[in-house]
Amino acid sequence: MADNVLFITNAFDTLSPKKDTSVFMMREFLERQYEVFQCLASDLTYSNGKMLAHCNQVSTDNNNLVLQNQCEISLQDFQFCFMRTDPPVDEDYLTCLHLLGVAHHEGLRVINHPEALKTFNEKIFAFEFPEFTPPTLLTTQKAEMQQFQQIHNELIIKPVNGMGGDNIHKISTPLDQHTDMLQTLSNNFTRPIILQKFLPQITLGDFRILVIHGKPFPMALARIPRPDSFLGNLAQGGKGVATPISDIQKNIASIVGERLMQHEILFAGIDIIDDHLTEINITSPTCAVEIFDQSGQNPIAALIESL
């Protein structure tokens, strides 16, 4: 069963058939005659020395992907396993990663490496490249937040563990006017939050660059906010426009890619606003569908070829 591939995702019926990158991946593997299976993070079992997945085979029906009856397959019978469950990185998520770590040690190729997924926070990971990041503060201390605002005035405030543009705030008035929001995000100033200098060039796009096997894909997706918003995230109504990556974006992505390869992170999505690195997404990077639909260049085909 060397040509089996397993996708660990959110519930299958929550994945957008036309826009979800995991679904796009499944289609690409099916076209290459792989047997494709899907399960949840909670569907892994360890029993008497064996790692098992309670999964469903994925097939096509009138060009739609459908799940067939559930089966039980040893993780060692899969050639690849894609861990594509969205954050939060909670206890269930970490338990799944621990089990995948055992399977990886026994020879299963997990993308991305479970140890890397346990090690790196997608927002804090960017701090390893301060030469590229915008002015940033992570703290629980309100006094430090106030000092930061005195320097940078207009700020973006966001949680450490968030996704899709949720709970991101833009402020330009004194922090004392936003106490309720700060208390909520920081759990009454006991949980660190991130403050960054607002980058007005976000109106030109929050660029998602896919990094595949350490190399930047030549087409990026500029996620452009609605006129009444500062958020480029597609989930927040941003418009995605495929565009060739710039030389500066390529340089940043190549440097980050070297670091990614040190930890077997084979598929990542970095976010760049005005040539500033803001996040390094490694859990379930997206935007491959939009890039392919608009440019005809296929990031997932490049990923599979790199494997």
Whole-model pTM over 0.85: yes
How much is the pLDDT for 235?
A: 73
Closest alpha carbon to 285 in 305, 301, 265: 265
Q: How confident is the model at residue 225 (pLDDT cuts 50, 70, 90)?
A: confident
How much is the pLDDT for 164?
A: 64
How much is the pLDDT for 2?
A: 58
* Tens-place pLDDT, residues 33-88: 999 999 999 999 998 889 999 999 999 998 899 999 899 999 999 999 999 998 77
How much is the pLDDT for 292?
A: 98
Q: Average pLDDT of 211-218?
A: 98
Domains and CATH numbers, the chain: 4-119 (3.40.50.20), 135-198 (3.30.1490.20), 201-306 (3.30.470.20)
Would you list the DSSP string of 228-283? T-S---GGGTPEEEEEEPPHHHHHHHHHHHHHHHHTT--EEEEEEETTEEEEEE-S
How much is the pLDDT for 75?
A: 95
Q: Average pLDDT of 285-291?
A: 95
* Tens-place pLDDT, residues 237-282: 778 999 999 999 999 999 999 999 999 999 999 999 999 999 999 9
Res 165 pLDDT > 70: no
